[in-house]
């Protein structure tokens, strides 16, 4: 501003025709300090303003706030998208104060030698530099780093970019506000940089290692990774800073690993190239269990486990003939890598039940010196087990008329079935040759509707029985039976029944009556649930069931 013009204006005195108040206002408006040195005149700053100036300042203040409010209302969605509502409020408030001060003290605010005026100008300039930097961050930097919101924001890279931008803004502001020669500052900082580089060698190593990892992108926020060998930390990446990478392990613990350590280690990313990951566990089975039967049992255990995928399909491979067992590798895909440990545990548990159901056990190393004792313990445990099976069979209505000798033989030959909650005893349309006497727990009955969905049609609680239709007539399983809780059952096969019928021929007639009655009850349940099975021909009555039984077991005899 032309100070000579201001000086000339200041020396002009009011004429007689001008009111004294107008002359005072003009004097306040155009007052200029005659001295050119830095100063501060508190008497001018603290002098109460005239009513006209106060009104103008108030009007400008309210007008600026109103304009800011209108801008916020008009562009609210855009401001919320870029999270700039707070920046608009602070900017509007700062502008309102700045314009009001100019209206209150126009002479002071244009005085380039007034210390307080200089402080106010530089303070407001600093505030607006910060606001502009924040706006630039949300409108330009973040969209570029996230590719328009398509990838997670890397906190580490964001911090680096903002630090660099802040340094340029600070240097530019310092050059403008304080007339600092940046060339001399940068030259003088070389020695300081060398000293700091030696003192912060490890910290700088972590910093640059983090930059290299960000450039190569071996993992992103949210990925499940393993650092180092199989015993290294494994978890989900929750944070990446200039110093370290933070993992949340499967146990819920936070592990911070310096960037320099991560950059030097092997990194396994379970989310690349796909989110799902394969898991392989080894299980040893009895040498007497045929490999194709072992494969069937283990695949059934995998299919019963929640969290495993059927596509890609699981696989079972024979990997070794060990001293005490044949070792099989069970490979299956897990949908979520963070649940890998829990899914592996469930597969192992389901495999134990399925192996027991098949009549085998998981062997353990046996030494000659222990062989007799093991057999002795096994023989001792057989007596109470047979007694329990005999009691369960005797209480079943199917064998109520069975004499003691064939009952004892059946209890000795029958197998005990134990399954975990959620496992299928058998599936609808399977071909089975056994039925079950439930001695503990409960099972749920499922049937398919016309739309192909499974619906629950009932629950069977111990003591009870199920599966007799397929075992006695050879028909496919009409429903799916699934363990609702951990169950214990006696499994009686068609071979066992053949021996029983040979010893007690009249028992076949009694069983056919029970099967006919149970078949009617089951059909009523299916119809009520909307899963009615295909109707049998009119000849499907008691005699039909009996004829099927005779035909089936006569073929078995031959």
Q: How far apart are CA 421 and CA 432, in angstroms?
A: 21
Do 168 and 56 lie in one domain? The reply is yes
The verdict on 201 and 161 lying in the same domain is no
CA 48 to chain centroid, in Å, comes to 64
Residue 117, domain member (yes or no): yes
Give exposure, 278-317, as e/b (b: 16+ Cβ within 10 Å): ebebebbbbeebeeeebbebbbbbbbbbebbeeeeebebe
DSSP category for residue 449: -
Do both 54 and 159 map to the same domain? Answer: yes
Q: Let me know whether 433 and 336 are in one domain.
A: no
- 135: containing domain: 3-178
201, 287: one domain: no
Residue 296's domain is classified under what CATH number?
A: 3.30.70.100
- Say if 46 falls within a structural domain: yes
Residue 312: CB partners within 8 Å, gap ≥ 6? 278, 333
Question: Does residue 543 share a domain with residue 411?
Answer: yes
Same domain, 29 and 165: yes
Examine the fold and report which residue of 178, 194, 222 is the final residue of a domain before the chain moves on.
178
Nearest alpha carbon to residue 303 among 333, 276, 337: 333
Largest CA distance in the chain: 143
Nearest to 131 by CA among 89, 175, 164: 89
Identify whether 39 is part of a domain. Answer: yes
Q: Which residues of the chain have pLDDT under 70?
A: 1-36, 147-148, 150-151, 154, 156, 182-216, 365-384, 528-543, 556-558
Q: State the pairing for strand pair 487-493/434-440.
A: antiparallel
Cα–Cα–Cα angle for 408, 414, 416, rounded to 5 degrees: 125
What is residue 543's predicted lDDT score, i.e. its pLDDT?
57
Copy the structure tokens of residue 393.
């069979």
CA dist., res. 456 & res. 428, Å (int): 13
Domain boundary among 229, 249, 273: 273
- Residue at a domain's end among 178, 198, 224: 178
Same domain? For 23 and 63 the reply is: yes
In a domain, 337, yes or no: yes
Task: Look at residue 521 in the predicted model and tell me its pLDDT.
Answer: 79
Q: Which CATH number does the domain housing residue 508 bear?
A: 2.60.120.10
| End-to-end CA, the chain | 121
Residue 218: inside a domain: yes
Give the C-alpha separation, 55 to 505, whole Å.
116
* 407 is a domain residue: yes
For residue 363, is it within any domain?
no
Convert the pLDDT of each residue in 503-535 to its tens digit. 777 788 888 888 888 888 777 777 766 655 554
Indicate if 190 and 310 belong to the same structural domain: no
Same domain, 75 and 203: no
Q: Count the domains in the chain.
A: 4
Of residues 387, 481, 383, 392, the one with CA closest to residue 439: 392
Cα(205)–Cα(258) distance, rounded to whole angstroms? 9
Asked, for residue 364, whether it belongs to a domain, the answer is no
Domain shared by 429 and 519, yes or no: yes
Do residue 326 and residue 406 come from a single domain?
no
């Amino acid at each position: 501003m032309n100070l000579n013009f201001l000086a000339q204006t200041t020396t002009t005195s009011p004429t007689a025709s001008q009111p004294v108040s107008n002359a005072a206002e003009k004097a306040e408006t155009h007052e200029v300090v005659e001295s050119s040195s830095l100063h501060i005149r508190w008497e001018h700053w603290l002098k109460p303003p005239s009513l006209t100036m106060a009104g103008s300042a108030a009007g400008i203040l309210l007008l600026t706030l109103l304009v800011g409010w209108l801008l916020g209302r008009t562009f609210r969605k855009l401001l919320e998208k870029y999270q700039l509502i707070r920046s608009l409020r602070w900017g509007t408030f700062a502008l309102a104060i700045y314009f009001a001060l100019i209206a209150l003290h126009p002479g002071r605010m244009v005085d380039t030698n007034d210390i307080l005026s200089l402080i106010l100008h530089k303070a407001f300039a600093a505030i607006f530099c910060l606001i502009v930097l924040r706006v630039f961050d949300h409108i330009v930097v973040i969209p570029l780093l996230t590719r328009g919101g398509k990838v997670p924001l890397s906190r580490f890279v964001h911090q680096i970019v903002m630090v660099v931008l802040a340094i340029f803004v600070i240097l530019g502001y310092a050059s403008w506000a304080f007339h600092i020669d940046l060339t001399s500052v940068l030259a003088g900082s070389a020695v300081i940089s060398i000293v700091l580089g030696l003192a912060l060698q490890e910290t700088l190593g972590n910093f640059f290692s983090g930059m290299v990892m960000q450039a190569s992108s071996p993992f992103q926020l949210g990925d499940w990774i393993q650092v180092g060998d199989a015993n290294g930390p494994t978890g989900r990446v929750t944070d990446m800073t200039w110093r370290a990478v933070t993992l949340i392990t499967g146990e819920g613990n936070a592990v911070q690993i310096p960037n320099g350590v991560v950059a030097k280690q092997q990194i396994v990313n379970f989310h690349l190239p796909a989110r799902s990951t394969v898991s392989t566990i080894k299980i040893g089975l009895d040498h007497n269990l045929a490999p194709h039967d072992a494969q069937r049992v283990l695949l059934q255990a995998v299919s019963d486990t929640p969290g495993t995928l059927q596509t890609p399909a699981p696989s079972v491979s024979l990997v070794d003939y060990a001293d005490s067992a044949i070792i099989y590798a069970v490979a299956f895909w897990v949908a979520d890598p963070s649940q890998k440990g829990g899914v592996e545990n469930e597969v192992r548990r389901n495999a134990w039940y399925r192996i027991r159901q098949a009549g085998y056990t998981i062997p353990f190393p046996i030494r000659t010196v222990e062989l007799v004792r093991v057999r002795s313990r096994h023989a001792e445990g057989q007596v109470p087990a047979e007694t329990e099976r005999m009691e369960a069979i005797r209480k079943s209505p199917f064998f109520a008329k069975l004499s003691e000798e064939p009952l004892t033989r059946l209890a000795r030959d029958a197998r005990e079935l134990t399954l975990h909650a959620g496992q299928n005893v058998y599936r609808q349309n399977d071909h089975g040759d056994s039925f079950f006497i439930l001695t503990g727990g409960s099972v749920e009955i499922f049937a398919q509707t016309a739309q192909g969905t499974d619906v629950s049609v009932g629950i069977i609680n111990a003591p009870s029985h199920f599966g007799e239709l397929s075992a006695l007539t050879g028909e496919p399983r009409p429903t799916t039976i699934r363990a609702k809780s951990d169950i214990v059952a006696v499994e009686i096969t068609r071979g066992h029944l053949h021996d029983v019928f040979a010893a007690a021929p009249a028992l076949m007639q009694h069983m056919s009556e029970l099967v006919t009655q149970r078949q009617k009850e089951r059909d009523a349940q299916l119809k009520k649930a909307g899963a009615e099975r295909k109707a049998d021909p009119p000849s499907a009555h008691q005699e039909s069931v009996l004829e099927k039984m005779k035909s089936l077991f006569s073929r078995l005899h031959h």
